[in-house]
């Protein structure tokens, strides 16, 4: 990245991915220009549709090329649920998870905030403003496991969750640092250490150890089952949640739901060691049922673009996008606006 150019990789993907990504780029272009930044885009055609046409998920040379970029903007991937031509989960694993793992995106950052004017399914949501720091490169997501005697009455299938001190410590430290920079300075570890003893104790011990470096941060612990209860009865109690890959997947979807839906939930797959480009993507999927109809809400993609700018050091530009998004969201009256109308409005407000 030269001082004035962002070398941006764009993976629009499937379904509504291209539509929401177009709006995110619209806003990103405008915000970048205001900072005197040039956005140099390289688009990569990847996803379920591409696999159907070519049999390719993420070729090694494409991955190598992606590695040379400053940062990646990701739309959404995945075929329609009923599409039996694609082995289930193939694109998710061989493209999305492969990117997260190969590029060492160990901080899967997912902020949750209930904007005023946005409806929550909760009767009395209170103020909700927390972030989830989800580990992104290990845990039950490693794809380690197997099947014995598949398809027989004696089949045994295993899944191995792999957790390392290296992997847990770096994400826990990142979460503490983020907590220390927030007004409430509170960290909650979510796990299930009373049952998953081996992994759970590694997480618990690591939190206790890293806590020593951040005496200003208070911390507590919740089992994942109890955490889901608090997410609907007292979401205000959360400030920073740190958790593993699978529990993070679950709790962030629930968090998105209580803060008005995954149309608003942004995320970053961040390599904090900056040994490879980070990747920013809305939490939502490709929603094939509404694809190409300008019905998708691009807000999550636009907020993901703001996180991208923040990661690159342009916190001011990120704040401006967020401010424009908040103003737009607060002014919504429930009437229909097309995907591009929302993008236009937010870009215009910058």
Ligand X SMILES: CC(C)[C@H](C(=O)O)[C@@H](O)C(=O)O
Active-site annotation holds for 83: no
- Interface of this chain with ligand X, residues 195 to 254, rule: CB under 6 A: 195, 225, 249
Active-site annotation holds for 253: yes
- Return d(Cα 131, Cα 135) in angstroms, integer: 13
Give the nearest distance from C-beta 283 to its own copies in angstroms.
Answer: 9
Give the nearest distance from C-beta 271 to its own copies in angstroms.
Answer: 20
Active-site annotation holds for 239: no
**CB of 89 or CB of 119, closer to ligand X:** 89
Three-class SS of 306-341: HHHHHHCCCHHHHHHHHHHHHHHHHHCCCCCCCHHH
> Residue 314 region, left (φ>0) first, then alpha (ψ -120 to 50), else beta?
beta
- Return d(Cα 76, Cα 279) in angstroms, integer: 12
- Local structure of residue 276 (DSSP, 8 states): S
Q: Is 294 annotated as a binding residue?
A: yes
Q: Is 92 in the site for ligand X (CB under 6 A)?
A: yes
Angstrom CA distances, 147 to 89, 150, 211, stand at 17, 6, 40
Select the span of 92-100, 121-129, 236-244, 296-304 touching ligand X (CB under 6 A): 92-100
- Interface of this chain with its own copies, residues 179 to 218, rule: CB under 8 A: 192-202, 204-205
Q: Is 249 annotated as a binding residue?
A: yes
Burial class (CB in 10 A: 0-12, 13-18, 19+), 307: buried
Q: Is 317 in the site for ligand X (CB under 6 A)?
A: no
State the binding partner of 4 from ligand X, its own copies, none, CB within 5 to 8 A by kind: none
Q: Which of 192, 244, 320, 328 is catalytic?
A: 192
- Local structure of residue 239 (DSSP, 8 states): S
Q: Which of 200, 142, 192 is nearest to 168 (CA)?
A: 200
- Interface of this chain with its own copies, residues 148 to 177, rule: CB under 8 A: 149, 151-166, 169
Q: Is 289 annotated as a binding residue?
A: yes
Maximum distance among all Cα pairs of the chain, rounded to whole angstroms: 65
State the binding partner of 274 from ligand X, its own copies, none, CB within 5 to 8 A by kind: none
Q: Is 285 annotated as a binding residue?
A: yes
- Interface of this chain with ligand X, residues 271 to 290, rule: CB under 6 A: 283
List CB contacts of 280: < 8 A, sequence separation 6 or more. 71, 72, 73, 74, 266, 267, 268, 269, 304, 305, 307, 308, 311
- Return d(Cα 50, Cα 58) in angstroms, integer: 10
Q: Which of 7, 70, 129, 253 is catalytic?
A: 253
Q: Is 70 in the site for its own copies (CB under 8 A)?
A: no
Q: Is 328 annotated as a binding residue?
A: no
Q: Is 110 annotated as a binding residue?
A: yes
Catalytic residue numbers read 141, 192, 225, 249, 253
**Sequence ranges of the binding site for NAD(+):** 285-297
| Contact residues for ligand X, defined by CB under 6 A | 92, 96-97, 194-195, 225, 249, 283
């Amino acid at each position: 990245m030269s001082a004035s150019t962002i070398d941006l990789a764009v993976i629009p993907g499937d379904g509504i991915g291209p539509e929401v990504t177009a709006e995110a780029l619209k806003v990103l272009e405008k915000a970048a220009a205001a900072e005197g930044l040039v956005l140099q885009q390289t688009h990569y055609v990847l996803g379920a549709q591409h696999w159907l046409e070519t049999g390719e998920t993420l070729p090694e040379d494409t991955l190598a090329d992606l590695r040379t970029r400053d940062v990646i903007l990701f739309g959404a991937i995945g075929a329609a649920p009923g599409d039996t031509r694609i082995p289930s989960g193939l694109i998710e694993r061989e493209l999305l998870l492969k990117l997260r793992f190969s590029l060492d995106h160990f901080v899967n950052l997912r902020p949750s905030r209930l904007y005023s004017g946005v409806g929550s399914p909760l009767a009395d949501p209170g103020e909700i403003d927390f972030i989830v720091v989800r580990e992104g490169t290990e845990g039950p997501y490693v794809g380690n496991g197997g099947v014995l005697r598949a398809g027989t009455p004696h089949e045994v299938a295993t899944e191995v969750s792999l957790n390392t001190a290296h992997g847990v410590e770096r994400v826990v430290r990142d979460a503490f640092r983020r907590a220390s920079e927030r007004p409430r300075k509170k960290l909650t570890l979510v796990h299930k250490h009373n049952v998953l003893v081996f992994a759970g104790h590694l997480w618990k011990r690591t939190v206790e150890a890293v806590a020593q470096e951040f005496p200003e941060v208070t911390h507590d612990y919740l089992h994942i089952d109890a955490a889901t209860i608090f997410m609907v009865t007292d979401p205000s109690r959360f400030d920073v949640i740190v958790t593993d890959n699978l529990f993070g997947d679950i709790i962030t979807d629930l968090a998105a739901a209580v803060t008005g839906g995954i149309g608003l939930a942004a995320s970053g797959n961040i390599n904090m060691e900056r040994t490879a480009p980070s990747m920013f993507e809305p939490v939502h999927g490709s929603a094939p049922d509404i694809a190409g109809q300008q019905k998708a809400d691009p807000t999550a993609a636009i907020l993901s673009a703001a996180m991208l700018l923040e990661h690159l050091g342009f916190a001011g530009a990120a704040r401006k996008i967020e401010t424009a998004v908040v103003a737009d969201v607060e002014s919504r009256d429930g009437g229909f606006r097309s995907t591009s109308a929302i993008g236009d409005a937010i870009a215009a407000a910058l």
